[in-house]
Amino acid sequence: MADIETAWTRLEAAAKAAGEKRIVELFDAEPGRLEALTLDVAGLHLDLSKQAWDEAGLEAALDLAHAADVEGARARMFGGEAINSSEGRAVLHTALRAAADADFKAAGVPVMAEVETVRQRMKSFSEAVRSGAITGATGKPFRAILHIGIGGSDLGPRLLWDALRPVKPEIDLRFVANVDGAEFALTTADMDPEETLVIVVSKTFTTQETLSNATAARAWLVEALGEAGANQHLAAISTALDKTAAFGVADDRVFGFWDWVGGRYSLWSSVSLSVAVACGWDAFQGFLDGGAAMDEHFRTASLEKNAPVLVALAQIFNRNGLDRRARSVVPYSHRLRRLASFLQQLEMESNGKSVGPDGRPAKRGTATVVFGDEGTNVQHAYFQCMHQGTEITPMELIGLSKSDEGPAGMHEKLLSNLLAQAEAFMVGRTTEDVVAELTAKGVSEAEIATLAPQRTFAGNRPSTLLLLECLTPQTFGALIALYEHKTFVEGVIWGINSFDQWGVELGKVMAGRILPELESGAVGTHDPSTSALIGRLKV
């Protein structure tokens, strides 16, 4: 096994050589390409054959993963070692979806008994709300849930609800995250307080945005139901029992989670209680089972046939080997339309670091910019730039092999666009083809000379295609776990800690200083621009 710097040098050289080739031609040059770069795992089909690497590039990428000791890091994570070194914490979101008899330990301390206790409490609460055994203050069953959180306490549950919600849910689920009061006003405008359960998600119960919205929600309940009645409509996800009690939440309606669960990995925990209630426990358990299936694959498969590892290596090949600093994620599924937003936090908060655990600067570029939206909508938006812009942006295209939702024939149309775009990005369209077409239409040579370059597509733009057999709780769980492990592998290879997020804190601290200045106090010391803006905006 090569040392890490030698492996990086080899990858960079292999990427340079591969970058001079056309992807489509590699299928003839490498007869085993499709077999080597496709695999089926936990209800997902992964095709990396349209990526830019050739055989030598893939081999160099795998050599880099071995040199970075991805296997050892993987064992340390599953073993519950404190791999979040800056905070001295284990990283065990995998325990949240494991079977009750699994052997997970955080720093040597078994955790599954606590995990299972909370899961059973979640299940009992979910079933009691859905059956009407738990009702609101006036005896009416809960027909709606208002979920209040932000960041990982919002993005994950929102995506999970979009993916799994029934077409006609028995319990409506709505979300409020932004401290902009417009979101609260618009979300609650047609909700009935008598039939609404408010679930507040904040581990410390101190997050400004969440507490502002929670306070507004409680006032909304109190106006309709009185103080005592409002308390019957509250539940919380938190570890700060003193604060939740002071807010009016009964202790038996507070569900905790642990410091070895980062916010962006917390959708497997009680953070998604609202979804478990609205969808039913069986759906949430299926989601956990799908994540566990991907965990088992990631933990045991060789790197050469390991889905999260290969997806991570494709990104590193593009990011570091070919200097492609952005990536687009496009799900051809309306239910997965928020996936890119979720991945922005998962990947950019995890790996948006320029310093390693040793305090030294990272030697190479780390996280890419992630963006995207649902297909086919984006084909009429930014795909022009993706096909013919000056920058090459790698893509991940995600679809469902089967779907029984919607009118007949719609899904086939969706799939035809997914496959066509993946092929078009790779194959492109030559100037010769354009000239032949225009000539056949009788266009003059002078006009052809102008039009042909504009209608030429260079192609050779890499993509990964990922198909879910169909969108079930299990396949969705496997998909999210795939991306979690991919993010971890990238952090290991880049030599950074993927599990802290100090970059989130500075803005919070400064906002805390500015708020009282905006409300009434004297303006403090700031740069001239900020001081002028505070003066302009003071209440």
Residues whose CB falls within 8 Å of the CB of residue 120, separated by 6 or more in sequence, listed in order: none
Other Cβ atoms closer than 10 A to 382: 16
Reduce the DSSP state of residue 349 to 3 states and report it.
helix
Structure tokens at 35: 């077999």
Judged on CB neighbours under 10 Å (0-12, 13-18, 19+), 496 is: buried
Instruction: Let me know: does 338 contact 155? Beta carbons within 8 Å.
Output: yes
Whether 508 is catalytic: yes
Amino acid at 165: R
The CA distances from residue 300 to 156, 223, 304, 404, in Å, are 26, 55, 12, 34
CA distance 441 to 376: 29
Give whole-number Cα distances, 326 to 222, 352, 367, 371, 461, in Å: 47, 13, 9, 8, 13
The one catalytic residue among 347, 349, 374, 517:
349
Annotated catalytic, 203? Answer: no
CA angle 59, 37, 295 (to 5 degrees): 95
**Spatial strand order in the sheet of 326-331:** 38-41, 44-47, 463-468, 395-400, 326-331, 369-371
| CA-to-CA dists, residue 455 to 22, 380, 531, angstroms | 19, 17, 51
DSSP 142: P
Residue with tokens 């319990």: 171
Question: Encoding tokens for residue 66?
Answer: 């071995």
Out of 168, 380, 445, 519, the active site residue is 380
In the residue annotation, 380 being an active-site residue is answered as yes
Query: Which of 16, 305, 413, 508 is labelled catalytic?
Result: 508
- What tokens does 256 get? 């905790």
CB-side neighbour CA atoms (13 Å) of 449: 3
Catalytically active residues are: 349, 380, 508
